[in-house]
Amino acid sequence: MTDGSGAIGEHRTWGTRSSGDGACRLVPVPTLRLFASAREAAGTGTDVVDGATVREVLNAAEQRYGDRFTEVLGTCRVWVNGEAISIDAPVGQHDEVAVLPPVSGGST
Protein backbone atom coordinates (compact mmCIF):
# COMPACT_ATOMS: atom_id res chain seq x y z
CA MET A 1 0.00 0.00 0.00
CA THR A 2 1.33 3.45 -0.81
CA ASP A 3 0.49 6.84 0.61
CA GLY A 4 0.48 8.62 -2.76
CA SER A 5 4.15 9.61 -2.52
CA GLY A 6 5.26 6.22 -3.76
CA ALA A 7 6.43 5.17 -0.30
CA ILE A 8 5.23 1.88 1.02
CA GLY A 9 2.91 2.36 3.99
CA GLU A 10 3.52 0.73 7.34
CA HIS A 11 1.89 -2.67 7.74
CA ARG A 12 0.27 -3.30 11.11
CA THR A 13 -1.51 -6.35 12.36
CA TRP A 14 -4.18 -5.85 14.98
CA GLY A 15 -5.61 -8.01 17.74
CA THR A 16 -7.70 -7.45 20.82
CA ARG A 17 -6.54 -7.04 24.38
CA SER A 18 -8.67 -6.71 27.48
CA SER A 19 -8.04 -3.57 29.49
CA GLY A 20 -9.15 -5.12 32.78
CA ASP A 21 -12.37 -3.13 32.83
CA GLY A 22 -14.19 -5.71 30.70
CA ALA A 23 -13.66 -3.77 27.48
CA CYS A 24 -11.55 -5.08 24.63
CA ARG A 25 -9.44 -2.71 22.60
CA LEU A 26 -7.74 -3.12 19.24
CA VAL A 27 -3.99 -3.13 19.67
CA PRO A 28 -1.17 -3.93 17.26
CA VAL A 29 0.29 -7.39 17.96
CA PRO A 30 3.57 -9.17 17.20
CA THR A 31 4.04 -11.69 14.41
CA LEU A 32 4.75 -15.31 15.35
CA ARG A 33 7.03 -17.23 12.96
CA LEU A 34 7.19 -21.01 13.29
CA PHE A 35 9.81 -23.25 11.73
CA ALA A 36 10.23 -26.99 11.03
CA SER A 37 8.44 -29.21 13.59
CA ALA A 38 6.83 -26.17 15.30
CA ARG A 39 5.30 -25.19 11.95
CA GLU A 40 4.07 -28.75 11.41
CA ALA A 41 2.55 -28.96 14.91
CA ALA A 42 0.73 -25.63 14.48
CA GLY A 43 -0.29 -26.17 10.88
CA THR A 44 1.03 -22.76 9.86
CA GLY A 45 4.34 -20.95 9.49
CA THR A 46 3.16 -17.45 10.36
CA ASP A 47 0.43 -16.09 12.59
CA VAL A 48 -0.35 -13.11 14.78
CA VAL A 49 -0.79 -13.86 18.46
CA ASP A 50 -1.72 -11.30 21.08
CA GLY A 51 0.62 -10.82 24.00
CA ALA A 52 2.61 -8.05 25.66
CA THR A 53 5.58 -10.33 26.46
CA VAL A 54 7.24 -13.30 24.78
CA ARG A 55 5.74 -15.54 27.48
CA GLU A 56 2.20 -14.26 26.79
CA VAL A 57 2.62 -14.80 23.04
CA LEU A 58 3.85 -18.37 23.57
CA ASN A 59 1.10 -19.15 26.10
CA ALA A 60 -1.53 -17.90 23.64
CA ALA A 61 0.06 -19.99 20.87
CA GLU A 62 -0.05 -23.09 23.09
CA GLN A 63 -3.76 -22.51 23.70
CA ARG A 64 -4.39 -22.01 19.98
CA TYR A 65 -2.35 -24.95 18.65
CA GLY A 66 -2.73 -27.56 21.38
CA ASP A 67 -0.72 -30.30 23.06
CA ARG A 68 1.49 -31.29 20.11
CA PHE A 69 2.67 -27.69 19.73
CA THR A 70 3.31 -27.42 23.49
CA GLU A 71 5.40 -30.60 23.32
CA VAL A 72 7.50 -29.26 20.44
CA LEU A 73 7.84 -25.82 22.04
CA GLY A 74 9.67 -27.40 25.00
CA THR A 75 12.58 -28.27 22.68
CA CYS A 76 12.76 -24.92 20.89
CA ARG A 77 14.72 -21.72 21.13
CA VAL A 78 12.76 -18.50 20.91
CA TRP A 79 14.17 -15.38 19.32
CA VAL A 80 12.71 -11.93 18.88
CA ASN A 81 13.81 -9.97 15.82
CA GLY A 82 16.69 -12.38 15.20
CA GLU A 83 18.12 -12.31 18.72
CA ALA A 84 17.88 -14.61 21.73
CA ILE A 85 15.83 -12.84 24.40
CA SER A 86 14.31 -13.35 27.86
CA ILE A 87 10.91 -15.02 27.89
CA ASP A 88 9.59 -12.08 29.93
CA ALA A 89 10.82 -9.47 27.45
CA PRO A 90 8.13 -7.11 26.14
CA VAL A 91 7.02 -7.42 22.51
CA GLY A 92 4.98 -5.10 20.35
CA GLN A 93 3.62 -4.40 16.91
CA HIS A 94 6.93 -4.37 15.05
CA ASP A 95 8.36 -7.49 16.67
CA GLU A 96 8.71 -10.96 15.21
CA VAL A 97 8.75 -13.85 17.68
CA ALA A 98 10.45 -16.86 16.05
CA VAL A 99 10.14 -20.42 17.37
CA LEU A 100 13.19 -22.42 16.27
CA PRO A 101 13.26 -26.19 16.90
CA PRO A 102 16.61 -27.96 17.04
CA VAL A 103 17.89 -28.98 13.62
CA SER A 104 19.27 -32.45 13.05
CA GLY A 105 20.74 -34.22 10.08
CA GLY A 106 23.87 -33.95 8.04
CA SER A 107 26.55 -36.53 7.58
CA THR A 108 29.85 -37.39 9.14
- Residue spans of the domains in the chain: they are 29-100
Q: Are 57 and 97 in contact (CB under 8 A)?
A: yes
Task: Report pLDDT for 27.
Answer: 66
Q: Are 56 and 64 in contact (CB under 8 A)?
A: no
Hey, which residues does 99 pair with through a beta bridge? 34, 78
Task: Report pLDDT for 29.
Answer: 85
Sign of CA dihedral 82, 61, 45, 77: positive
Task: Report pLDDT for 25.
Answer: 55
Q: Are 81 and 60 in contact (CB under 8 A)?
A: no
Q: CB under 8 Å, gap of 24 or more: what pairs does 61-68 form? A: 61/32, 61/99, 65/41, 68/41
Please give the chain's pLDDT, 108 residues, in tens.
333 333 333 344 445 444 456 656 566 789 999 999 999 999 999 999 999 999 999 999 999 999 999 999 999 999 999 999 999 999 998 999 999 999 855 455
CATH superfamily for domain 29-100? Beta-grasp domain (3.10.20.30)
Maximal C-alpha separation, the chain: 59
Task: Report pLDDT for 108.
Answer: 52
Amino acid making up residue 77: R
Task: Report pLDDT for 64.
Answer: 97
Task: Report pLDDT for 8.
Answer: 35
